[in-house]
Structure 1
Amino acid sequence: MKFKILILTLFLAHSSLQAQEYFPDNKGVKAKNNNYMVFENAKIHVDPNTIIENGMFAVRNGKITAIGKSIVVPENSIRIDLKGKEVYPSFIDIYSEFGIKEPTRAGNENGEPQYEANREGYYWNDHIRPENKAIEHFSFNKEEAEKLHKNGFGVVNTHVADGIIRGSGILVALKPEGTEGERIISDRSAQYLSFEKSNQSRQLYPTSIMGAMALLRQTYLDASWYAQGKSKNKDLALEALNRNKDLVQIFKTDDLLDELRADKVGDDSGVQYVIFGSGNEFEKLDEIKNTNATIIVPLNFPEAYDLEDPFMANYVSLQDMKRWNQAPTNLKMLAQKGIPFVLTTHNLKDEKKFKPNLLKAVEYGLDKKAALAALTTTPAKIIGQENKLGVLKEGAWANFLITSGDFFDKETVLYENWVLGERAMLENMNVVDLRGTYSLKVDENQYELKISGKPNDPKAEVKLGDKKIKSKLSYDDTWINLLLSSPDSTKTEFTRLQAKVTSKSDEISGKAILNNGSETTFTAVKTKPAADDSDKKEKEIKVFEVLPVTFPNMAYGNTSLPKQENILFKNATVWTNTEQGILENTDVLISNGKISAIGKDLNAGNTRVIDATGKHLTAGIIDEHSHLAASAINESGHNSTAEVTMEDVIDPNDINIYRNLAGGVTTIQLLHGSANPIGGRSAILKLKWGAPAQDMIFKEAPKFIKFALGENVKQSNRSSANRFPQTRMGVEQVFIDYFGRAKQYEQEKKNDKNFRKDLEMETLVEILNGERYVSSHSYVQSEINMLMKVAEAFDFRINTFTHILEGYKVADKMKEHGVGASTFSDWWAYKYEVKDAIPYNAAIMYDAGLTVAINSDDSEMSRRLNQEAAKTVKYGGVPEEEAWKFVTLNPAKLMHIEQYVGSVQTGRDADVVLWSGHPLSIYTKAEKTLIEGAVYFDLEKDKAMREEIELQKNLLTGQMLSAKNGGEKTRPVSPKEEQHIHCNTLEIH
């Protein structure tokens, strides 16, 4: 390994293949080749926008020395005629694992995770590995290089694909012969990152993507702090991270939402990433554009589903069907939007799919110049090699392709791929196209010879009169050999024909050895050219009608995002949730996203009028405890994860958003799960279906965090629990310990301006200072009492006890503490700690004077919260208006947003629902759900959308069946079960 690095260092120091050699040579006399290679008469693609017709260029010692329409040809030159050929810069793949062996997976002898780092002198988290150097793990793989050569690649940027921060990569020229030192252009070409943990560690944290995002933010903060010389410990990982700051930062993601999340981490930390994408960027082009990132796009289009079985076809979602239909347009749409992108072979199971998929993208509208730029000039610029790679110019590396024609033509042959001036021969470019029909005369026999197939792999069909003659044609290095069987099938006699073909001609002649052994000549005269396959080509390249992208790009997606409207609801029964109570036959005017007027006989000019006679208008339902619209719920790696936030993992494509709008829900608190006593920060959302994740966040809402008590946090429901705490006593101690540390942190921070910023401690300090509210998962009265006492000991208050199924036992103490209650209406007996739950719980707490809400903790229940509220009328006699407040005004109060939502009064956000009847009735439907004056659910529109969904699925089914009948490979349908997420749902990231 030391020898390998020495060679590289010497190579880089001289930076030119023309540098003086100083290694001793004891092999004897050696003549150095200083000849020039001059290529002439070619169509040269200098770069995507510049072409030299009938141009020429010279190569010496791995570099281009001259290029142009005409150049001075040195005396010591080997001239190569490329008449009829085209030359392109060879391609660059900036995301690769070429030549790097996959790291060994860590053992797990005890079957339990490791929590502490095991690398002394490195960062506390094993998944942060910026000190990794690809140069120390690289070994040239000739077989894989040949596969890349065939796709036109001459250079790859490779790395160790292991960990969240993966370390530095190397830029490697795929020179067929030579040493690693000759091939490596840069030993520190980029730094690589991902959301994936290292295979070399059993350390559990992080278990979720939000944990990975928080870890990255903390690592960047620590690296900055470390650079100031404040640490008492030496940290080789942070030192490496600081060294690598000057490198291009390439972030690997796995799906479209993760692309945006990676950019969010980068924005928070002042880092601009180049992002390895998903191929689905077309679904969120504006958001991708706003990242300012260059996207690395894998050319890996989804296969069509096999939909011949109509029963199984029902299991395929419209989203998956649309992605198959729309994915080939992704590159075209990126280019039209002005989003820079490059292409990669990574994620391709079969490298032979690369060019067909590239040509498919071109057929679907990708400009050829944009395609070439994505393979040459754009990746070269990203890695700082724009004058050396990706272009054909004087002084650039001699990395080029020789083709039979336009590279983006299906029939074009890639003959040679030159890397650093060394040839990788793929096909013989001196092959003459012999295809056509010939009159073949051998001795006294007149045959009909038809040659078809590919120019470099021709096939022969021979007839003598009407009789087909068995034959075998071979074509190698300008020589053709044709073997003819005897017309008499009972005889094993052959006639052998041989000829040399050096140029295209309508006549071929050569030597013939007859079946009796005598020698003569033969002549084949072309009578008909090869058949025109243009019609066949059109059939082979099937371009289907492409469906428009919707927001989100799935069933019930909007063709455009809903816009604010000015609407006048006439003659409604209005549930105001104010002292005015319920108003009969009342008008409500919505203007500029607000409720602007309430009264009778309102007139608003040309405003849209909706007749609400016999219908009820209410504030939108608010769910204090929800887990919908999230890609992750728990970060279970530590017993305190106050550094993570649910805002990082909002999933705006969750169909339950639309379903909840259909149930009249407009606002939710997206809570972290209950895997640990101190969970993650909340996200309060408005359910703006189709909007970007960040636009769903309730901007005016205050900060919240989720705590948890009971069975989940002490891991009673896990078979192999090994994380503290494991008892209810331990849970209490976690709170005391962490808040004690938070107080100490705050004091030390005041005394030292350069104190290390800790995102977890910062959050806990916010709680102590009343800047962040606590919503705590709770069941058993003893723990409810415990947490209130802990909070009082540290001089803050719990804001909300959620679930709180034993709240009726301690309602008086809760009232004294000042905490609210958000509970289920009638859930019980689903685990041991809820055995004392009763359906009168909400009513008893309400009678005790608490602010009571009914929550869901379930995406199915949440769209029927109006019915859940109605149960409190039956169980406890809660008045109807007060029961309605349990799912509107009261959760708004618990979340401190009642000045914006939760009631129908002037000045409030126009988050309202028009119901077909009494809102607490099981027979009532939400007809229209508005958020800030925009209609996000409309019952009539929903009916039309259902019809459109069936039409689209039928169209796409036909396309997929046509694709299968056309010979395309299909994938089987496998039913997907929708996951219902609750507090205890765990992800292993």
Structure 2
Amino acid sequence: MIKQIFIACLCFVVFSSNAQETFQVNGVKDDRTNLHAFTNATLHVDYQTTMENAILVIKDNKVIALGTDIAVPQGAIVHDLSGKHIYPSFIELSSDIGLPKQKSERARAPQLDPKTSGAFNANDAIKAYFNAVDEYSISKSDAEKLRKAGFGAALSHSKDGLVRGTGVFVALREDAENKVILKERVSSHFSFDKGSSTQDNPSSLMGAIALIKQTYFDADWYTNQDEMVDLSLQAFNDNKGLPQFFDAGVDKLYLLRADRLGDEMGIQYIIKGAGDEYQRLNEIKKTNAKLIVPVNFPDAYDVEDPLDALNVNLEDMKHWELAPYNLKRLADAGIDFTVTSDGLKDAAKLAEMMEKAIEAGLSEELALKALTYTPAKLISMEKSIGSLKNGMIANFIITDGSPFRKKTKIYENWVQGHQHSYVDLIKKDLSGNYQLTLAGKNYDLQVSGEPDKPEFKVVLNDSTKIDVKSNVAKELISMSFKLDTAKEATGKIRLSGWLTEKGMSGNAELPDGNWVKWTASRTGDVEAKEGEKEKKEENEEKNADEAGSLLYPFVAHGKATKPTSETILIKNATVWTNEADGVLENTDVLLQNGKISQIGKNLSASGAKEIDGTGKHLTAGIIDEHSHIAISRGVNEGSEAVTSEVNIEDVVDSEDVNIYRQLSGGVTTSHLLHGSANPIGGRSAIIKLKWGYSPEEMKVSWADKYIKFALGENVKQSNWGEQNTVRFPQTRMGVEQVFIDAFTRAREYEKEWNTYNSLSKKEKANAVAPRRNIELETLVEILNEERFISCHSYVQSEINMLMHVAEKFDFRINTFTHILEGYKLADKMKEQGIGGSTFADWWAYKFEVNDAIPYNAALMHGEGVVTAINSDDAEMGRRLNQEAGKTIKYGGVEEEEALKMVTLNPARLLHLDERLGSIKKGKDADVVLWSDHPLSIYAKAEKTIIEGAIFYDIEQEAQGMKDIQAERARLIAKMQGEKKNGKKTQEAKPKSQIIYHCETEIENYSSLK
């Protein structure tokens, strides 16, 4: 005992005296060597090497020897770790420990310019100049939390901004900052969240992506220019040689977006995910990215109340069940990853989460690798940390077993050779049943709980247990209790004594003041009652069923497998060809290899799936020329008047349930447009509604490129409130000037690049290339007919104005969308070859549509304008066939021409008509089989087929709803079992979805999925 106290005191003297060499010592300097030998341990050298009965020797902050047959150095402090394990301490790569927290205060009025003063970037979200090492200050409480969870080092970086500057790698001990910093500039960091910046731009996810892209181009240009100083761009270039980290921790689609951005910029990011990577595993594997994966597995939902259960969507239920399998599936796919505690409310929950992952199949070796070797390798520190080899930093934990078990105790965490104790290494586990002999009587004494917090009870009978107040300190023990059932007991019995090999003994004072001897001999382990044990096993068995299957996409109505192209023969249908053949009765159509292969009667094909079309109608798939479904975090980048740099293609949301809903209405292709918040908005995306496929697989890669322009009330912010009077333009005259200014700048930009590109190779070597500008590049594409305009429009005067601007700069407007006054100038549209995409019968919903009439589509069509009916609305997109039918009522449009307004005509407006919009041999097999006349309100889309794959089948819909109900019931029962077993649950809260329209403007996009 005295020896142990001496060693503890000696350790304290050594540790407290290990001050920095350059600091003045206040007192007597202690130069004794910090030399320790840890013997008889199970030593886990790294994730794949274990030594039994090994010795680990450290000196100061390094490992100097290890093995099973080495000698303990003379003068070393010896720690006997019999029955204990030594593991390398964990490494955290996603932390902001020791850095100031940024507060974001949203501006009440628009803020167009940055607030940061000095020679910095024009956007406050670009913080490449931030170096964490300059701001790092030891946070004792945060470091302690991480150490208790097993961490010994952390990469700390700012979590503020799109470009976040550099990270610092630190040891998690309490000393002067210049002793704990292991590497001062170890990484460069990015995210999609603009953080504390109150500047308007960016106001959307696509705006954030565009700004990061532009920053890359600006940084490249900055290297060779001498016109200006931008400390942000200078730092951006200085940081390019560091490992590049991207925080995409919202969901798996954000991870894919981060990698796509990196591919465009020639960067392979190390990407922090969201823990749901298993949902898009194949796509994520193709990124070749190294991942940082959180393990904040969700608690079960409290679904005892059936109405509360309705608040939880199927996606969240299934993620609760499958999240622990994420690491195992990543490992099986051969994807390198490291684990982070980031996202856990308490880092101490790490062991519990990792235990769940291991129970789901992850090996302990890979778990250790993901927390030690891999994070060290990602920052090129694997030769210094992450393992316990000669010369490496002495960062290790001492445990009583695997650190990936909830009940495992971390006794000590040694960081840079400095000891941090949490559980007494020599604390004896007293749990068990004892026979307590006291004053000639025997009692049953039961000890349970953890070694550092034992719980004592005197058991009188099966129903009566008396709590015992106890204190165990080193080898000494004291207890006190009152035997309420004993007649002679008028006060407490107080025992004092010591621990022995077989139990405990000592002296006791009885309530009457007499002293007697007492002993407590161990008789066996504490066991649960048979009934309780059986009940527990029954509940565990009930909850041990296999996890449910994946869905593509991972939401309700997702499928267990992605639809694939088949050979399909549709027999005896009424076929609306949209071609010269018109409507063909009792006709067969063969779909083969994703194309329309044959059209005729009495067709046959070996191995084809035959569908009886008798009494049914077959049309080309519906094409929505103006849609806002399937877009993530903002349909408008309304922060500036011209935002042609942003791109809807960057934010396609393949999980949006509106895709499936519109498939049920026969839609096969959608043109996803930017909103109408500014005169020149963002670039658009054309997708096929391939439900279950990834965003990249949905995009029509061969399609021409488009962009959204807008006119009217929205762009001049007339209905945005009193605060929005800052951004130009504020009048319709100003809108015209925006167009003229933008295209004038674009012409100058093109001229500048043409001049540079005309230089010889030698001349270019002595010249500075122009600054690449995505905004102006896009406008040049319009001028050169490489990108086409779809313009939000209402009022005749403004439509005329934009036509004049187009004439002035020699380009053509492709489509006026909405165009509710199109009937007033259809002749001019026809003359200039401009199409119209309109509503069937919307009018009078705001001032500038007061002159709208339901005959608009018919009148434009009658004048020879290519006319389409669009939705602009997720719900209307489900019934575009009926919207087209309204043109028969309002204007007497012929049936075939009415159908073309949602099939062939939008295909022509989007330049897709060579492959889409009609049923013709060789075109894409995008068709819909209707139960009735396709323009009838009674018609249902029975099968919606894209490129020969059935993406919606009404016959399977009823069974699909039953499957959803059954899966929900299974998961609800499983979550109820969790609650019954005493597991923590979370409140069942409903989630809402924002349905975008042209005018939807979101100020704080970073808080939205």
Say whether the 8 Å CA contact 2:20–2:179 is kept in structure 1. no
Change over 3 Å in CA distance of 1:221–1:149 after alignment to 2: same
Please give the per-residue CA displacement for 1:838-858, whole angstroms capped at 9, x wherever unaligned: 010001011111111111101
Mapped pair 1:880 → 2:880:
no
Say whether the 8 Å CA contact 2:17–2:30 is kept in structure 1. no
**Secondary structure at the counterpart of residue 584 of structure 1:** strand
Counterpart for residue 985 of structure 1: 1000
**Secondary structure at the counterpart of residue 831 of structure 2:** helix
Say whether the 8 Å CA contact 1:155–1:172 is kept in structure 2. yes
- How far is the alpha carbon of 1:31 from its aligned partner? 2.8
Mapped pair 1:576 → 2:572:
no
- How far is the alpha carbon of 1:891 from its aligned partner? 0.5
Change over 3 Å in CA distance of 1:536–1:29 after alignment to 2: farther
Change over 3 Å in CA distance of 1:63–1:929 after alignment to 2: same
Alignment equivalent of 1:733, drawn from 702, 718, 737: 737
In the aligned structure 1, how far is the partner of 2:97 from the partner of 2:18?
A: 28
Change over 3 Å in CA distance of 1:706–1:464 after alignment to 2: closer
- Residues 533-542 or 767-776, more deviating: 533-542
In the aligned structure 1, how far is the partner of 2:1002 from the partner of 2:521?
A: 72
Mapped pair 1:458 → 2:460:
no
**Secondary structure at the counterpart of residue 239 of structure 2:** helix
Change over 3 Å in CA distance of 1:111–1:540 after alignment to 2: farther
For residue 575 of structure 1, what is the amino acid of its counterpart?
W
Please give the per-residue CA displacement for 1:183-235, whole angstroms capped at 9, x wherever unaligned: 11111121111111141x321100011011111111011111112x2240011
Please give the per-residue CA displacement for 1:407-429, whole angstroms capped at 9, x wherever unaligned: 23333211111101111101111
Say whether the 8 Å CA contact 1:634–1:673 is kept in structure 2. yes
Change over 3 Å in CA distance of 1:731–1:490 after alignment to 2: farther
Mapped pair 1:189 → 2:204:
no
**How many positions carry a matched residue from both structures?**
967
In the aligned structure 2, how far is the partner of 1:799 from the partner of 1:463?
A: 88
Change over 3 Å in CA distance of 1:756–1:551 after alignment to 2: same
**Secondary structure at the counterpart of residue 604 of structure 1:** coil
Change over 3 Å in CA distance of 1:795–1:111 after alignment to 2: closer
**Secondary structure at the counterpart of residue 335 of structure 2:** coil
Q: Root-mean-square deviation (CA), in Å?
A: 2.1
- How far is the alpha carbon of 1:266 from its aligned partner? 0.8
Counterpart for residue 47 of structure 2: 48
- How far is the alpha carbon of 1:20 from its aligned partner? 13
**Secondary structure at the counterpart of residue 791 of structure 1:** helix
- How far is the alpha carbon of 1:107 from its aligned partner? 7.4
Question: Which structure 2 residues correspond to residues 612-761 of structure 1 after superposition, within 5 A?
Answer: 612-631=613-632, 632-719=634-721, 720-721=723-724, 722-753=726-757, 754-761=769-776
Change over 3 Å in CA distance of 1:204–1:905 after alignment to 2: same
- How far is the alpha carbon of 1:120 from its aligned partner? 2.9
**Secondary structure at the counterpart of residue 420 of structure 2:** strand
**Secondary structure at the counterpart of residue 869 of structure 1:** helix
Counterpart for residue 233 of structure 1: 228
In the aligned structure 1, how far is the partner of 2:459 from the partner of 2:622?
A: 82
Counterpart for residue 865 of structure 1: 880
Say whether the 8 Å CA contact 2:18–2:30 is kept in structure 1. no
Say whether the 8 Å CA contact 1:364–1:543 is kept in structure 2. no
- How far is the alpha carbon of 1:465 from its aligned partner? 8.3
Change over 3 Å in CA distance of 1:112–1:655 after alignment to 2: same
Please give the per-residue CA displacement for 1:834-878, whole angstroms capped at 9, x wherever unaligned: 111101000101111111111110111111111111111111111
Counterpart for residue 8 of structure 1: none
Say whether the 8 Å CA contact 1:119–1:126 is kept in structure 2. no
In the aligned structure 2, how far is the partner of 1:605 from the partner of 1:500?
A: 88
In the aligned structure 1, how far is the partner of 2:992 from the partner of 2:460?
A: 64
- How far is the alpha carbon of 1:966 from its aligned partner? 1.9
In the aligned structure 2, how far is the partner of 1:815 from the partner of 1:282?
A: 52
In the aligned structure 2, how far is the partner of 1:606 from the partner of 1:398?
A: 67
Please give the per-residue CA displacement for 1:212-263, whole angstroms capped at 9, x wherever unaligned: 1111111011111112x22400111111111111112111122221111111
Change over 3 Å in CA distance of 1:845–1:34 after alignment to 2: same
Question: Which structure 2 residues correspond to residues 253-264 of structure 1 after superposition, within 5 A?
Answer: 253=248, 254-264=250-260
Structure-2-length-normalised TM-score: 0.93
Counterpart for residue 924 of structure 1: 939
Question: Which structure 2 residues correspond to residues 425-504 of structure 1 after superposition, within 5 A?
Answer: 425-463=421-459, 471-485=468-482, 488=486, 493-501=491-499
Counterpart for residue 244 of structure 1: 239
Change over 3 Å in CA distance of 1:469–1:261 after alignment to 2: closer
In the aligned structure 1, how far is the partner of 2:135 from the partner of 2:114?
A: 26
In the aligned structure 2, how far is the partner of 1:906 from the partner of 1:105?
A: 58
Counterpart for residue 839 of structure 1: 854
Please give the per-residue CA displacement for 1:658-679, whole angstroms capped at 9, x wherever unaligned: 1111111111111110011001
Say whether the 8 Å CA contact 1:660–1:862 is kept in structure 2. yes
Mapped pair 1:960 → 2:975:
yes
Please give the per-residue CA displacement for 1:314-344, whole angstroms capped at 9, x wherever unaligned: 2322112111121121111111111122122
Counterpart for residue 96 of structure 1: 95
Say whether the 8 Å CA contact 1:714–1:725 is kept in structure 2. yes
Change over 3 Å in CA distance of 1:509–1:975 after alignment to 2: closer
Mapped pair 1:224 → 2:220:
yes
**Secondary structure at the counterpart of residue 240 of structure 2:** helix
For residue 822 of structure 1, what is the amino acid of its counterpart?
S
**Secondary structure at the counterpart of residue 118 of structure 2:** coil
Counterpart for residue 207 of structure 1: 203
In the aligned structure 2, how far is the partner of 1:647 from the partner of 1:618?
A: 28
Please give the per-residue CA displacement for 1:869-911, whole angstroms capped at 9, x wherever unaligned: 1111111111111111111111100011100100111110111
- How far is the alpha carbon of 1:689 from its aligned partner? 0.5
Alignment equivalent of 1:353, drawn from 335, 349, 354: 349
Change over 3 Å in CA distance of 1:425–1:24 after alignment to 2: closer
Mapped pair 1:801 → 2:798:
no
Structure-1-length-normalised TM-score: 0.95
In the aligned structure 2, how far is the partner of 1:271 from the partner of 1:853?
A: 42
In the aligned structure 2, how far is the partner of 1:600 from the partner of 1:120?
A: 76
- How far is the alpha carbon of 1:468 from its aligned partner? 5.6
In the aligned structure 2, how far is the partner of 1:485 from the partner of 1:611?
A: 86
Note the residue ranges of structure 2 that are not aligned, 5 or more in a row. 1-15, 758-768
Say whether the 8 Å CA contact 2:43–2:54 is kept in structure 1. yes
Say whether the 8 Å CA contact 1:117–1:124 is kept in structure 2. no
For residue 886 of structure 2, what is the amino acid of its counterpart?
K
For residue 320 of structure 1, what is the amino acid of its counterpart?
D
In the aligned structure 2, how far is the partner of 1:74 from the partner of 1:238?
A: 53
Question: Which structure 2 residues correspond to residues 83-482 of structure 1 after superposition, within 5 A?
Answer: 83-105=82-104, 108=107, 111-116=109-114, 118-175=116-173, 177-199=174-196, 201-227=197-223, 229-253=224-248, 254-463=250-459, 471-482=468-479
Alignment equivalent of 2:778, drawn from 749, 755, 763: 763
Change over 3 Å in CA distance of 1:107–1:596 after alignment to 2: closer
For residue 602 of structure 1, what is the amino acid of its counterpart?
L
For residue 949 of structure 2, what is the amino acid of its counterpart?
A
Change over 3 Å in CA distance of 1:465–1:793 after alignment to 2: closer
**Secondary structure at the counterpart of residue 752 of structure 1:** helix
**Secondary structure at the counterpart of residue 422 of structure 1:** coil
**Secondary structure at the counterpart of residue 431 of structure 1:** coil
Please give the per-residue CA displacement for 1:243-294, whole angstroms capped at 9, x wherever unaligned: 1111121111222211111111111111111111111111111111122122
In the aligned structure 2, how far is the partner of 1:240 from the partner of 1:517?
A: 79
Please give the per-residue CA displacement for 1:492-549, whole angstroms capped at 9, x wherever unaligned: 54443333337xx323333444555555543222222333799798667954531100
For residue 820 of structure 1, what is the amino acid of its counterpart?
G
- Residues 950-959 or 803-812, more deviating: 950-959
Say whether the 8 Å CA contact 1:436–1:451 is kept in structure 2. yes
In the aligned structure 2, how far is the partner of 1:20 from the partner of 1:444?
A: 59
Counterpart for residue 4 of structure 1: none
- Residues 276-285 or 961-970, more deviating: 961-970
Say whether the 8 Å CA contact 2:302–2:988 is kept in structure 1. yes
Question: Which structure 2 residues correspond to residues 451-600 of structure 1 after superposition, within 5 A?
Answer: 451-463=447-459, 471-485=468-482, 488=486, 493-501=491-499, 505-515=501-511, 519-531=515-527, 543-600=544-601
For residue 689 of structure 1, what is the amino acid of its counterpart?
W
Change over 3 Å in CA distance of 1:489–1:138 after alignment to 2: farther
Counterpart for residue 761 of structure 2: none
- Residues 180-189 or 349-358, more deviating: 349-358
Note the residue ranges of structure 1 that are not aligned, 5 or more in a row. 1-16
Change over 3 Å in CA distance of 1:929–1:508 after alignment to 2: same
